[in-house]
Structure 1
Amino acid sequence: MWQESRLSRLLNIEYPIVQAPMILQKPLVPLAAAVSNAGGLGSLGCAEMSINELEQRVAQLKASTDKPFNLNFFLHKPPIYRAELDDRARSLVAPFYENLNLELPADTSVTEAETFDAEKLDLLVEQNPAMVSFHFGCPQGAVVDRLKGAGIRVAATATTVSEALALERSGVEIIVAQGWEAGGHRGSFAVNYEDTGIGTMALVPQIVDAVDCLVLAAGGIGDGRAIAASTALGADGVWMGTAFLTCTETPITGIHREALLSASDEDTHLSRAFSGRPCRARRTPYSVGLAEGRPDFPEFPLMYNYSSPIKRHGIAHDDLDHQFLLYGQAAALNRERSAEQLICELVEQTNEILTAMQTLGRTSV
């Protein structure tokens, strides 16, 4: 059956379903543990964690599951502050601050966001997760070799064939082929504009044909039909984020959950207005307004200095028009259930579809 894939064997998991690493207001240790315990690969988004928090969260995860799991990091470079971009960003966000009676931030030249460094690499080798994955870049060969030497599988995101080839040359074993439909930040190596990208159905088979690495399909994977389609395109597994957002183990607010459960296919768009990098999020007056004219924003993650006060206001007042809700184009398929129930349904649906396709193929000959 489909679950007996190269990915399942490589990672010693039952089903080739990876819960995409997500960063929310609260840690996702319970969700990651539940996914791993149910036979998939649970993931923690570690990009914003200090070394102390990273060690703490990994300990919590190991206490909750003895199954394999994934830790994910961003490979962004430390941002360069540019005064002219600060002036432009302030003028763009000023009307929203005035409308909400907020004060513009005094200092926007610094960020507390963590970058991936040697100290974190040392901790990963010590903690020995089944997989480490990277977003926003191509890991250096020395980093890949160090992780693989410790028996850790290495994955990274590609949004084009050329990015996939670069990852393969660096020694990455698993490529996450992230289509245009995916929720959250695009993993492009360069900061692309909001109106550029390749869809999952077009991207996956081209990357499969171009590389010898294992390939995971990401973007718009909401049910067993999409998993079966990804399998037909040559993917070794799937990388799913939005589908897990409404699981009972995911710590989102009630208004966030309601937005997901009532979502439509047209809810989201790609915007750089939140972080400085393109990410697919729910449309808001802020994200739509700042997209006009495709302005240059301060580099990731400095743009959070301007958008976070608006987001915090939205959360405090249950105001969806001023929140930052990341989800993909298939959110309308979401339902509320446990992670175990979701995985069981995905496996059942996928096997039914693939069995029916095999039967159809035999009877049509």
Structure 2
Amino acid sequence: MNPWPDTRILDLLGIELPIIQAPMAGATGSAMVIAASNAGALGSMPAAMLSIEQLRAELNVIRQHSQHPFNVNFFCHQPPMADEQRARQWKNLLEPYYRELGADFDAPTPVSNRAPFDAAACAVVEEFCPEVVSFHFGLPEKSLLDRVKATGAKVLSSATTVDEAIWLEQHGCDAIIAMGYEAGGHRGMFLSNDLSSQVGTFALVPQMVDAVSVPVIAAGGIGDARGIVAAFALGASAVLLGTAYLFTPEAKVSASHHRALRSAKESETALTNIFTGRPARGILNRVMRELGPISPAAPAFPMAGGALMPLRAKGEADFSNLWAGQALRLGIELPTAELTRRLADEALALMSRR
């Protein structure tokens, strides 16, 4: 008999543990995905910052080293129209930092990009047939989604409100990630740009569970076994953890990000749009404090980060996005596989005492 109180995600995705390792673009590579999946969880490979060739290479490595289900995650935003005036105004706002750090203000501005899901990415999905494909910022157009589903993949996406969850179910999601306000990284919001509409995990999960018929996966502020047990008590069928996996040796984080994760307080994260143009939660640093953290001057997603790249090269910690959720102080330094098993074992032990 399966020891978990809700096995719908286990049955749907073909995994042993109701734990999903979050797809963290820039911090997650094939090594983390392989370790998480081989431990019984669902490893998740982020594709938004990879070229098609890089994505194909990573998926090849995963298939070579794991026979277990895994997830590939894509962004599905609409690329913005070019706005040279806004880009110029944004760079002018950053000019004092260029002068201070000795960066070349007059050099062409680098391009900061996150690739949306398109036909080329869909072709990679058709080539590798990952068991799960997940999306952020809604879902892709129907023709592409139909192609994904035709591979046999189960489709997940993030919702930050009940309305978004209902929309995702109506448009074909097999399960929905309830992304609470506490979560690190980019908010998955797509029906509204209003940050005041965002809901905490413990309020969001039970209302979402009541509103949709597909399984709900809790995300945001869950960093240990206690959070997993609480998520199940609220009706979730699984949990998605991101920040907890940033403490593993498989996480590809910079030295400054590594230090910040280990020293920041729970009150020292904030939502900011200055690194990409969309709200995302990260650890407060100099540029967030001095410019925002929410700045109306930031160019539309994903273009805001380009002008910050030369500054990041000169003063990394002060000008880099240090993504993390509010439960960062619960992080422990263990390899991905060991962390995954420990979280599951401790959660089951706590449930058995209830």
Q: Which band: TM-score by shorter chain?
A: over 0.9
Bigger Cα displacement from structure 2, 169-178 vs 106-115: 106-115
User: Are positions 1:335 and 2:332 aligned together?
Assistant: yes
Question: In structure 1, what is the equivalent of residue 160 of structure 2?
Answer: 159
- Map of 1:19 onto structure 2: 21
Superimposed CA distance per residue, residues 126-147 of structure 1 (whole angstroms, 9 cap, x where no aligned partner): 2110100000122333333322
Displacement of 1:114: 2.3
Give yes or no for contact 1:42–1:69 (8 Å, CA) kept in 2. yes
Q: Hey, what's the Cα distance between the residues in 2 that align with 1:34 and 1:293?
A: 36
Gaps in structure 2 of 5+ consecutive residues: none
- The answer as to whether partners of 1:191 and 1:278 remain within 8 angstroms in 2 is no
Instruction: Give the SS at the match of 2:321.
Output: coil
Deviation, 1:95, is: 1.9
* Structure 1 Cα separation of the partners of residues 77 and 55 of structure 2: 18
Structure-2 separation of matches of 1:195 and 1:262: 28
Alignment of structure 1 residues 103-182 onto 2, 5 Å: 103-104=104-105, 106-108=107-109, 112-182=113-183
What is the DSSP-based 3-state SS (H/G/I as helix, E as strand, rest coil) of the residue aligned with 2:240?
A: strand
* Residue equivalent to 1:302: 303
CA RMSD of the aligned region, Å?
A: 2.0
Task: Tell me how far apart the structure 2 counterparts of residues 293 and 167 of structure 1 sit (CA, whole Å).
Answer: 27
Q: For 1:283 and 1:246, how far apart are their aligned partners in 2?
A: 18
SS in 2 for 1:238: strand
CA distance in 1 between partners of 2:245 and 2:203 (Å):
24
How far did residue 13 of structure 1 move? 0.7
- Note the alpha carbon deviations across 1:261-310, whole angstroms, 9 max, x for none: 23320121000011000010111121122217842421111111112222
TM value normalised by structure 2: 0.93
**Distance of 2:327 and 2:222 partners within structure 1:** 7
Amino acid in the other structure paired with 1:10: L
Q: Retained in 2: the 8 A contact 1:3–1:16?
A: no
Query: How many residues are treated as equivalent by the alignment?
Result: 352
Comparing 74-83 with 172-181, greater Cα deviation is found at: 74-83
CA contact (8 A) 2:132 2:156 kept: yes
Cα deviation, residue 253, structure 1: 3.4
Quote the Cα distance in structure 2 between the aligned partners of 1:167 and 1:2.
26
Q: Secondary structure at the match of 1:245?
A: helix
Q: Which residue of 2 aligns with 1:362?
A: none
Letter paired with 2:19: I
1:226 paired to 2:227: yes
Structure 2 residue aligned with 1:363:
none
Give the deviation of 1:149 after TM superposition: 2.1
Q: Quick check: 194-203 or 41-50, which moved more?
A: 194-203
Write the distance in 2 (CA, Å) between the matches of 1:134 and 1:107.
Answer: 32
Please give the alpha-carbon distance, in whole angstroms, between the structure 2 residues aligned to 1:298 and 1:106.
18
1:51-78 CA-partner distances (Å, limit 9, x unpaired): 1111111001111211110000001111
Does the C-alpha gap of structure 1 residues 105 and 62 become closer, same or farther in structure 2, counting only changes over 3 Å? farther
Q: Distance in 1 between matches of 2:55 and 2:236?
A: 31
Question: Would the alpha carbon gap of residues 283 and 191 (structure 1) be closer, same or farther in structure 2, given more than 3 Å must change?
Answer: farther
Distance 1:348 1:286, change over 3 A: same
**What is the TM-score normalised by the length of structure 1?**
0.91
